[in-house]
Structure 1
Amino acid sequence: MKNLIVRTIRMIILFITISCSQTSPYHHTEDFDMPLITKNNEMNSSGNFEALIKLNAEYFKKAGAMGYDEGKGLCFLNVANVNSTEGDYERAHILLDKAGESLKNSENNFHKAKFYDSYAHYYSHLKQYDKAIIYSDSALFSLKKAPDSELKKKLMPRIYTNRGTYFAWKGQLGNSLKNFHKGNVLEKSAYSNCMVAQYHLYTNRLDSAGIYALRAENMMSRHKTPDVERLWIYYTAGYYYNEINQYDEAEKMLKNALELSIKTRLTYSFHIKDVYKALSDLYRKKKDKEKAYFYLSRYLEEDSRLNESRFAAINKTTDSFITEAKKESDQRENDLWAVGILVIIILSVSGMYIRKNIRLLKLKKKNLKTETDRLKNRVYEKKLQEVTELAKRNDSSFLMKFKELHPEFISRLLIINPDFENSELAFCALLKLHFTSKEIADYTFVQHKSIQQKKYRIRKKLNIEGDQDIYEFLDQLEKTANP
């Protein structure tokens, strides 16, 4: 009888232990995931990245105290997204790998969706849109399997909107518009309408762009909208008004965007560059050469100066985050010493293993940098080939694609002479690609004599000395922009 009672008690204890261990994968949604992601998104939208990284460092410690590895993974993802946005792709990849280690055993489909969406975001910045779409597919698939929650409700439309961007850059405009509309239907915000407007501006459908740009503007005035999203809406509206030649309204919108760009300049410097460039284009169309030159100069200054300062700020705060993560890991190791001699031996062996891993990590970082450089070269060569083919076909999108390949070149031309027409800029681009006069004549279907006359006019506009080779001058032009 006594043995039966003992066995029964053991069975009860075992049952309770198993029951307690089988917690839901969504157990910490309310007490950890929700507050972290909500605060993180608020700081991201305000452009306060330094506070964002400090927030994630605090939650990383909290996750460690809770034994919540998935929580650590979310922190890594949040900081990885910051580095992707700011162009530090090597650091972003390392943080994404760390997030993957923390989330690899998670059964939480929201966590999986966040992880895949972050990788899609990362690859989109590398302009590897095929990979971005593949990861975005996985994010969407995982999120659809997650239970309904406020987190799911907010992430779903942003995934669709991001997919719209990836498909647009891939040239799959039908899929792009479909995803932009899905995101807009789900979110119904000023920002989601603004992104649809951006699509129509990108495809030069000004009537449709106007509908969504004005709707975004009206919604922004009626609802609270984060600074960074307001900036994008003002910029889009200003861009639209400039396209339809309503210069006063365009100036008003772009000046509003400029104020917000300055406010968030420490982290969202890529926005302020766009605004300066749009203002320069506006004043060039208004034939205000002085202001056109001023904003072009500011554009170039921001392109070089802020590029360095933003990396310094992000690197400093990210290093602090990684240091805190290591401290938490070291603390857990130190606590094990109290177990006894056996644990000391294990830790010694672990220390050797960790040192080996650190060496491997350094080697991996070096290899990642080499791979990144190789990737940049491959991307450049592919773009160069694409631009060359467009030039040979006399395609109307040639100049736009050339600007993506050599943005400083066009800017330098406009600084020397803001009166350059698009046709003249396109001609200079052909010379930059080292096409001969005969080749340019053949591709543009004009007589060789006309090409020589165009060269003469370009030389005058650029004040090129009579004995200087025009090809050599244009080659040196971009180098002076990047000393």
Structure 2
Amino acid sequence: MNIKYFLEKAAFCLLLFFGVLSSGRSATWEVDSLRKEIHNKWLNKGDFNSIILAEKKLIIKCKKLGYIPGEIKGYINIANALSGINRNKESLQFLDIARKKLTKLNDAGLEAQMNHVYGVNYFSLGLHKRALQRFNKALEVAKKISHEKEKQRIQYSVYDWKRSCFGFLGLVDSVYSNERKCMKSPMPMLYITIANRHFKNNNIDSAEYYINKANHLLLIKKIPVEGKANVLRAYGRLNIEKKEYNKSLQYLLESLAITHRAGLRKRTLETYKLLAILYKRLNNLQKENEYLAKYSRLNDSLRESEKVALNTSVEDILASQEEDFTANSKNFYYGFASIILVSTAIILIIDNVHKVRYKRQDKMLNEKKHETDILRRKLENLYEEVVQLAIKSDPSFIHKFREAYSDFYDNLTKENPALTANDILFCAYIKLNFSNKEIAEYAHLSIRTVESKKYRLKKKLGISSESDFNKWITKY
């Protein structure tokens, strides 16, 4: 009787155990399924804010279930969505939470995805070498992912971003190498980038061929709405080159509507610039100035956000260095204490190893601090593009000049409110130390007109006849 009672109790306990286990698995599966559904719905619509809100709710659910991988996945997904709408500071903060929680979990998929999103943020902030380090780490970790489809998805995405990094660094061979890898699973932006190269070489037919290939992808693959905006913008540029301005306007305004809704501010910035160029071709000065002003305001806003995020990135790098250094020191001293118990002779050997390691760590720390100093200086260095923009008569030249020479620009306009936009542009050329011949070439004027303009400006600014106008502007 007692044996029968015992067996019944044991069977009941086993059923209860497997019931709880099955319930837990069912709940985590439900979270994963819901997350996939959310991303398919909102990412395709370009609604990043809805993704963020939904992920925050899922994180709360994961915490209640004790589902740590699901919680970490939520932080990484939020960081990815935030980077998509250029909120890099917040994105890096969520990545930091994920990074700390991942130290207690061995999950190659999450670690690869986290490094990928770190790389995307660094790329967005212009830290291309730092981004490449993260992308390479993502590829290294991705090799351990057992699920082949997930592994390939991460790998192809990383190749695409590495291609862009190498493009900014001017490493053409590496660009082509990663392009070939991306061709196995292309996205519209791959073909648009190739089309842009053909635009630079004035190969309009080739550019159109690749834009059409990008558009074809929209029809055969599930591409997020950003892909559609990119294709529309590319068609807008194509039709500017073909002088079909009405078509171009239609494409650009459609692209602008999408990027506005999705909060894709950098893509919106690109469209503003193209619209300014389009209206310049149409001789519509009012509309040209309207979009130049929009470009300037948005560009200033993005620059400010990037400065804040760049500081966060620098702090994150320093904190990571300190953590690595502390962890290395702790591991070393634990080992050192253990060896003391073994023998005095081994202590002497380990002591010597310690000195070598310490010097190496100190050297690494100094190198990383030097890298950090370079990053900080990057915040103040906005001047390198100005001359090239002037040479190309780019509409955004005066806005970039204002960023690079803000004190000169602000003082000049404040003390001389009567100066026109053309006067300020002329002063900018002189500030860049352009000769009369160069100014004439870039401003599409005769040398005599340039000399006459200098004389009138000199009188307008109240500069004495004995003073050298160029020197006065240079020292101003």
TM-score above 0.5, yes or no: yes
Of residues 285, 295, 300, the one that matches 1:299 is: 295
Which TM-score applies when normalising by structure 1?
0.62
Alpha-carbon distance in structure 2 between the residues aligned to 1:251 and 1:144? 46
Match of 2:265 in 1: 269
Structure 1 residue 256 corresponds to structure 2 residue 251: no
8 Å contact from structure 2 (residues 381, 404) kept in 1? no
More off after superposition, 394-403 vs 200-209: 394-403
More off after superposition, 237-246 vs 110-119: 237-246
Structure 1 residue 117 corresponds to structure 2 residue 101: no
Structure 1 residue 467 corresponds to structure 2 residue 462: yes
Match of 2:226 in 1: 228
What do residues 202-228 of structure 1 show as CA deviations (whole Å, max 9, x unaligned)? 676645432211222244356664322
What do residues 438-460 of structure 1 show as CA deviations (whole Å, max 9, x unaligned)? xx8799999xxx87853644787
Residue 145 of structure 1 aligns to a residue in which SS? Answer: coil
Alpha-carbon distance in structure 1 between the residues aligned to 2:277 and 2:215? 22
Structure 1 residue 55 corresponds to structure 2 residue 50: no
More off after superposition, 242-251 vs 93-102: 242-251
Match of 2:335 in 1: none
- Summarize the Cα distance change of 1:436–1:47 in structure 2 as closer, same or farther, 3 Å threshold: same
Give the C-alpha shift of residue 114 in structure 1: 0.2
- Summarize the Cα distance change of 1:169–1:308 in structure 2 as closer, same or farther, 3 Å threshold: closer
Alpha-carbon distance in structure 1 between the residues aligned to 2:102 and 2:152? 21
Structure 1 residue 91 corresponds to structure 2 residue 90: yes
Alpha-carbon distance in structure 1 between the residues aligned to 2:264 and 2:230? 11
What do residues 5-42 of structure 1 show as CA deviations (whole Å, max 9, x unaligned)? xxxxxxxx9xxx9xx99xxxx99996555652563365
Residue 287 of structure 1 aligns to a residue in which SS? Answer: coil
Give me the CA root mean square deviation: 5.0
Q: Match for 2:276: what amino acid? A: S
Structure 1 residue 280 corresponds to structure 2 residue 279: no
8 Å contact from structure 2 (residues 292, 396) kept in 1? no
More off after superposition, 129-138 vs 202-211: 202-211
Alpha-carbon distance in structure 2 between the residues aligned to 1:58 and 1:432? 55
More off after superposition, 83-92 vs 198-207: 198-207
8 Å contact from structure 1 (residues 432, 471) kept in 2? no
Give the C-alpha shift of residue 73 in structure 1: 1.7
Alpha-carbon distance in structure 2 between the residues aligned to 1:464 and 1:181? 60
Match of 2:285 in 1: 289
Residue 467 of structure 1 aligns to a residue in which SS? Answer: coil
Alpha-carbon distance in structure 1 between the residues aligned to 2:26 and 2:102? 15
Match of 1:197 in 2: 195
Structure 1 residue 156 corresponds to structure 2 residue 155: yes
Q: Match for 2:150: what amino acid? A: L
- Summarize the Cα distance change of 1:402–1:120 in structure 2 as closer, same or farther, 3 Å threshold: farther
8 Å contact from structure 1 (residues 70, 102) kept in 2? no
8 Å contact from structure 2 (residues 76, 114) kept in 1? yes
8 Å contact from structure 1 (residues 120, 136) kept in 2? yes
Match of 2:318 in 1: none
Give the C-alpha shift of residue 307 in structure 1: 9.2
- Summarize the Cα distance change of 1:262–1:459 in structure 2 as closer, same or farther, 3 Å threshold: farther
Structure 1 residue 64 corresponds to structure 2 residue 63: yes
Match of 1:142 in 2: 141
Alpha-carbon distance in structure 2 between the residues aligned to 1:123 and 1:42? 27
More off after superposition, 195-204 vs 92-101: 195-204
Of residues 225, 233, 236, the one that matches 1:238 is: 236
Q: Match for 1:142: what amino acid? A: V
Alpha-carbon distance in structure 2 between the residues aligned to 1:289 and 1:471? 33
Alpha-carbon distance in structure 2 between the residues aligned to 1:155 and 1:404? 38
Alpha-carbon distance in structure 1 between the residues aligned to 2:180 and 2:276? 32
Which TM-score applies when normalising by structure 2?
0.62
Q: How do 1:161-200 residues align onto structure 2 when only pairs under 5 Å count?
A: 161-187=160-186, 189-198=187-196, 200=198
8 Å contact from structure 1 (residues 180, 196) kept in 2? no
Structure 2: where are the runs of 5+ without partners?
1-12, 306-369, 414-418, 464-468
Alpha-carbon distance in structure 1 between the residues aligned to 2:290 and 2:393? 27
Of residues 206, 209, 219, the one that matches 1:211 is: 209
Q: Tell me how many residue pairs correspond in the alignment.
A: 375
| Bigger-Rg structure (1/2) | 2
Structure 1 residue 73 corresponds to structure 2 residue 72: yes
What do residues 137-174 of structure 1 show as CA deviations (whole Å, max 9, x unaligned)? 11122223322354344333222111111111111122
Alpha-carbon distance in structure 1 between the residues aligned to 2:475 and 2:87? 29
Give the C-alpha shift of residue 281 in structure 1: 0.3
Match of 2:316 in 1: none
- Summarize the Cα distance change of 1:400–1:94 in structure 2 as closer, same or farther, 3 Å threshold: same
What do residues 350-377 of structure 1 show as CA deviations (whole Å, max 9, x unaligned)? xxxxxxxxxxxxxxxxxxxxx9997775
- Summarize the Cα distance change of 1:259–1:126 in structure 2 as closer, same or farther, 3 Å threshold: closer
8 Å contact from structure 2 (residues 79, 94) kept in 1? yes
Identity percentage of aligned residues: 20
Q: Match for 1:175: what amino acid? A: S
Q: Match for 1:467: what amino acid? A: G
- Summarize the Cα distance change of 1:28–1:158 in structure 2 as closer, same or farther, 3 Å threshold: farther
What do residues 455-474 of structure 1 show as CA deviations (whole Å, max 9, x unaligned)? 644787x9993536789889
Give the C-alpha shift of residue 279 in structure 1: 0.9
Alpha-carbon distance in structure 2 between the residues aligned to 1:130 and 1:148? 29
Q: Match for 1:160: what amino acid? A: Y
Alpha-carbon distance in structure 1 between the residues aligned to 2:29 and 2:203? 44
